[in-house]
Structure 1
Amino acid sequence: MAFAGRWETETQEGYDAFCKVLGIPDDIIEKGRDYKLITEVTQEGNDFSWTQIYPTNAKVTNKFTIGKECDMETIGGKKFKATVNMEGGKLTTSFPNYHHVCEISGGKLVETSQAGSVVLKRTSKKL
């Protein structure tokens, strides 16, 4: 239940390089650089609902059960199938263009996304 709650982005490392490797246009990268993304997580056992809310009020919600394939969607509307696993207290999954790991460290939500050698690390505080 460590992931459950409402989180707000504090820091991002590698944002520009990560967005560029995913092919996101420069104007969108510029707009999103200082976003205070809100992440809302509910958890009941192995069942999760994970919602990301952007300052433009755009949001995307993915629901998943640990170890079971599910339908997911990116903020850009791309739909795909993925399986979220729990490994050593970390949630791991592969999106179409990158691998994503979420963990709680020092009371913070730490999300690490890796596309090839490019890494985005986002740290969020609990609200």
Structure 2
Amino acid sequence: MTFSGKYELESQENYEQFLDAVGLSNAKTDHKVITEVVQDGNSFTWTQSIPNWTWSNKFIVGQECELTTMTGSKFTAPVTMEGGKILIQFPQYHLTAEMVEDKLIMTCITPGEKGVTFKRVSKRI
């Protein structure tokens, strides 16, 4: 299944706890996040936007890629796909993204015993 499309936030769980866990408690917003994914085979451009802020990453599944965190820090990590799910290890959390029917589901898990699981469900628009 292709990820390509434009998606609007439908629901999310543990958003504020996740931002606190990754040190972004001052970034809390109640704006509707828009996610746009352009997929060409294994090549992706993944962009998330709210008013006055955009965060974008380009990556190729199966390769080590230079990526950017939500705060603008750059890092290098392999991007993999297993069972139709994109997997990326960010410095402060592990991201899994998948398509379920016509919804984009992103799950971010912070490490440790008190890890936080943040889940965002977005609908295609």
TM-score, length of structure 2 as denominator length: 0.92
Could you tell me which of 39, 46, 60 is aligned with 1:43? 39
Answer whether contact 2:19 2:27 (CA < 8 A) is retained.
no
Please tell me the root mean square deviation across aligned C-alpha atoms, in Å.
1.2
Find the aligned partners of 1:49 and 1:24 in 2 and give their Cα distance. 24
Tell me what 1:106 maps to.
101
Work out the CA distance in 2 between the residues paired with 1:59 and 1:114. 22
- Structure 1 segment 34-73 matched on structure 2, within 5 A: 34-56=30-52, 58-73=53-68
Partner residue of 2:119 out of 110, 118, 121: 121
Give 1:76 shift: 1.2
Is the partner of 2:27 in helix, strand or coil? helix
Percentage identity across paired residues of the two chains: 44
1:16 to partner: Cα distance: 1.1
Distance 1:6 1:107 in 2: 11
Structure 1 portions without partners, runs of 5+: none
SS of 2:88's partner is: strand
Q: Distance in 1 between matches of 2:121 and 2:5?
A: 14
Residues 59, 75 of structure 1: 8 Å contact kept = no
Alpha-carbon separation, structure 2, partners of 1:93 and 1:28? 22
| Paired residue total | 122
Name the structure 2 match of 1:18: 18
The alignment partner of 1:93 has SS state of strand
Which of 73, 76, 79 is the equivalent residue of 1:78?
73
Partner residue of 1:5? Answer: 5
